[in-house]
Structure 1
Amino acid sequence: MIRTQIFLTNDQSHQLRELKKVTGKNQSELIRQAIDTYLDRQTTTDRQAILESARGLWRDRQDLPDLFALRAEFERGGQ
């Protein structure tokens, strides 16, 4: 782990002290947990944005097979 220092507001510090009492975790654990939660949300948001930007990417391609026809053929058993 890497040691770092941060400045907290009085309210943040007070809420962390109260949360320590309830959870039994120390301040460092609570801060790491909060950072992990934040980073997970950012990763999910980034992934969603990437997927949305790729929507319709191949819409105008003429060199791809008709997927609906392929699917219908597959469902008929390839006959």
Structure 2
Amino acid sequence: MMETKINLTEQNQQALIEIYHLTGKSQQELITSAIEDLIKNYQQKKRLDLMQQAKGIWKDREDIPNLEELRKEFNREWEK
């Protein structure tokens, strides 16, 4: 693990002390956990944003077959 120096406001420092007393987790554990949550949330949002950008990219394409029709054909072959 890499050690990093951070600057906290007096309010943030006091809040961490209060959370420490409630949870028993050290300041390092609290900050590490908060950073992990931030990264996880960012990655999930980034993934959602990419999926939203990709949504409908094929809807107006005429050069690819209609997937619903292909499925119907495929299902008909299995029903025989």
Question: What TM-score do you get using the length of structure 1 for normalisation?
Answer: 0.85
Query: Which residue in 2 is equivalent to 1:18?
Result: 18
1:65: how far off?
Answer: 1.7
Letter in 2 for 1:52: Q
1:4: how far off?
Answer: 1.2
Question: What TM-score do you get using the length of structure 2 for normalisation?
Answer: 0.84
Structure with more helix by fraction: 2
Gaps of 5+ in 2: none
Query: Which residue in 2 is equivalent to 1:71?
Result: 71
Q: What do you get for the CA RMSD once the two structures are aligned?
A: 1.6
The total of aligned residue pairs comes to: 79
Cα distance in 2 between the residues matched to 1:78 and 1:51: 34
| Structure 1 residues 41-56: aligned runs within 5 Å | 41-56=41-56
Letter in 1 for 2:37: T
Identity %: 38
SS of 1:3's partner is: coil
